[in-house]
C-alpha cells in the first residue's frame, strides 16, 4: 500500500535523555520532539520527569532501562525549562 500524497504527515523525531544523579537526589528524564523540516537546534516541545532516588536502580542493562521507561510512561510529566528537584 502506498501513501497518498494528500495525506502527508511531517516526519517527527523524539529524543529521551536520562540523567542519573547517584550521589544526590534523583534520576531525571527529558523528552524532546520536533517536526521536520526544522533547524538543527529547534525542538517543538519538552517534558521532564524526576524519579526520586531510591525508586530506581542505576541503569546497568537494557532491562533496567526498559523498566524505567515503562514506569514513567504511566505518570504525568511537566513542562518547563529545567527539571524539578524536591527540596532544592
CA angle at 70 for the pair 74 and 80, rounded to the nearest 5° = 55
Q: Is the pLDDT of residue 67 over 70?
A: yes
Sheet order of strands, 45-52 included: 12-20, 26-35, 45-52
Q: Give pLDDT tens digits for 27-63.
A: 889 999 998 888 888 888 898 988 877 777 778 899 9
Q: Is the pLDDT of residue 80 over 80?
A: no
- pLDDT mean across residues, the chain: 79
Which pairs with CB-CB distance under 8 Å and at least 24 residues apart come from 59-68?
A: 59/18, 59/20, 59/27, 65/18, 68/18, 68/27, 68/29
Residue 47 in grid coordinates: 517534558
Mean pLDDT throughout 57-81?
Answer: 84
Tell me, what's the pLDDT at 88? 43
pTM of this structure: 0.69
Distance CA 6, CA 46 (A): 29
Amino acid at each position: 500500500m502506498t501513501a497518498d500524497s494528500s495525506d502527508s504527515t511531517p516526519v517527527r523525531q523524539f529524543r529521551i535523555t536520562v540523567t542519573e544523579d547517584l550521589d544526590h537526589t534523583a534520576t531525571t528524564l527529558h523528552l524532546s520532539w520536533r517536526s521536520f523540516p526544522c533547524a538543527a537546534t529547534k525542538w517543538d516541545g519538552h517534558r521532564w520527569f524526576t524519579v526520586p532516588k531510591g525508586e530506581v536502580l542505576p541503569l546497568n542493562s537494557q532491562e533496567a532501562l526498559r523498566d524505567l521507561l515503562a514506569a514513567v510512561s504511566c505518570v504525568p510529566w511537566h513542562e518547563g525549562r529545567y527539571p524539578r528537584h524536591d527540596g532544592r
